[in-house]
Structure 1
Amino acid sequence: MTDPVPVRIKRLPHGHGLDLPAYATSGAAGMDVLSAESVTLRPGQRHAVATGLAMAIPQGFEIQVRARSGLALKHGISVPNTPGTIDSDYRGELKIILINHGSDEFTIARGDRVAQLVIAPVVQASWDEVEELDDTARGEGGFGSTGGHAQLV
């Protein structure tokens, strides 16, 4: 196991009284983050849920925002841009974009766990434009070309 990456975090006024993001178990990859507001999502509705937190992620890292599996399975609540990315140079409030894919309204209370945060290293790319690409066995095959459901082929 590697040492934890220190992330400076600022509690905004509407985040007072809430726990900071935390790992639920010793083997958890993601930290549960809490809502700093109460809101009801209608079926099909999206909302940027306030967390009452801002942070300074170290350069060379990002925080990925991921859905909580229980909310997704039981209620159809998901993060539409999964995983969402919080860049190291962003200093505004962390808001969790949620969507209700379920058929019923879903109420989020202040203090509810709404998503998971995963810190991950970032490697930036540089483009090397060429006239031709090297050949591979797969070639240009995509969208089910390696097998799977018969109706996709």
Structure 2
Amino acid sequence: MAHGDLDQQVPAADARHFADRLRQTSASPVVYAELRGGNHAFDLYHSVRFEAVIDAIEGFTAWVRSRDHYPKYRDKADLLERFGLSDLAKRQIGGLSGGQKRRLAVSPAFAGNPHVVFLDEPTTGLDVEARRILWEVIRASTPTAAQRC
């Protein structure tokens, strides 16, 4: 079961209770995931619909993991290097500075060498130096017209 914690019809506490009770009575495994900020519940019982949902999820994740949709996929090491994060690859996010966190958050947008990237105020909250560094990294990661051909 996946349940949104903001669901108006079934409160999250009721959904958790239901999942606990179902675990006690079901011979099959019961998995419960609470989606923060979610407004809906998705109950996945074994049925034709359930099989269709699972098949769709498996197909989507296989497509994403195949990387066939990224004709010029950048590997993780290259991406970390471009954004000046190589030496921080093994650190936990909580130990990074604000500028480092922001560069890490922006970097996946460039993983597939996209022609267009939409960034919504990527430097908000950064000091002047961190802002300058991030814009330099973004500009350096953007292919020129000659590189796109």
- Which bracket does the TM-score occupy, shorter chain normalised? under 0.3
TM-score by length of structure 2 reads: 0.19
Flag the structure with more relative contact order, 1 or 2, with Cα contacts below 8 A and sequence separation at least 6. 1
Tell which structure's C-alpha radius of gyration is larger: 2
Bigger proportion of residues as helix: 2
